[in-house]
Amino acid sequence: MNATTVDTFEFSRLGEQRSGVTPVASFGRLSAEAADAGGELRWSFSGGKHRMGFSQLIMKVDGEVGLICQRCLSPFRHPIDSETVLVLARDDADADEVEQKLDDESIDVIVGSAAQDLLQLVEDEVLLEMPLSPRHTSCPGDAPQVAPDKRESPFAVLKKLNS
């Protein structure tokens, strides 16, 4: 096994930690979705137990991914800043059961593995964090937003006529 492949249940039981920095170009699926393969992702994993006793991983990922703005068609850097709790299950049936017990949308339940590549989890998380229709908050070359003149209410105008 390499440094990023772990037994998720042992990793959690021992409370291990791993972290690293990986170039976006190292992720095949992510590179195919990104506008460019530049940049890097910083990631970390911490093993432990959920308060309900389930094995869990806490995954943190941050960095930037190059995307194309769907409004102006120019490239921009999309920030990634994610922290996810991954509760481990033994198999798909166990995952469904654990998910029902947790009843918490902020926690993801995954099937644990004796040989899980942590970078695959990082790539999955970043792909899920990417917007379906990427856009700048304000496209370059856009005219600055000017607040429209506040018009007087028609009822206020009528009220003045009665005075």
Average pLDDT over residues 18-37: 95
How would residue 161 be classed by pLDDT, with cut points 50, 70 and 90? confident
Average pLDDT over residues 4-9: 96
pLDDT tens-digit map of 89-108: 999 999 999 999 898 888 99
In sequence order, what are the residues at sequence separation of 6 or more whose Cβ sits closer than 8 angstroms to the Cβ of residue 38?
24, 25, 66
Alpha helices in the chain (DSSP H): 8-13, 28-33, 92-102, 118-129, 154-162
pLDDT of residue 136: 86
pLDDT of residue 146: 54
pLDDT tens-digit map of 46-93: 999 999 999 999 999 999 999 999 999 999 999 999 999 999 999 999
pLDDT of residue 147: 56
Is 0.85 surpassed by the pTM of this model? no
How would residue 17 be classed by pLDDT, with cut points 50, 70 and 90? very high
Residue 88 pairs with which residues in a beta bridge? 110
pLDDT tens-digit map of 108-157: 999 999 999 999 999 999 999 999 999 988 888 765 555 556 667 777 76
